[in-house]
Amino acid sequence: MKKRERSAAENIVDGADASLLEIIDHVLNKGVMLQGEVILGVAGVDLVYLRLNALLCAADRLLPARAGK
């Protein structure tokens, strides 16, 4: 049976020398997009709808560089 390829996340986290600081540094350099939805309801009636959209990355990766710096 053929082994599946390791994902980038597995390569970062499973490293023997991977510290929390290295993981956070990698996440900020690459960026992470989180999306999710939660619907709470009773008896088939939706009562609460929550939606999460978040982008986590270093500001210099997202914002264009200013002229003169």
**67 vs 61, more confident:** 61
DSSP string covering 14-44: S-TT--HHHHHHHHHHH-EEEEEEEEEEETT
How far is the C-alpha of 61 from the C-alpha of 16, rounded, in Å?
Answer: 28
How far is the C-alpha of 36 from the C-alpha of 57, rounded, in Å?
Answer: 18
Please give the model's pTM, rounded to 2 decimal places: 0.45
Tens of pLDDT along 10-48? 666 666 666 888 878 888 888 888 899 999 999 999 999
Which sequence spans correspond to the domains of the chain? Answer: 8-62
Interior/surface letters 31-45, b for 16+ CB within 10 angstroms, e for the rest: eeeeeeeeeeeeeee
What are the two backbone dihedrals, phi and then psi, of residue 41, each rounded to the nearest 5 degrees? -150, 165
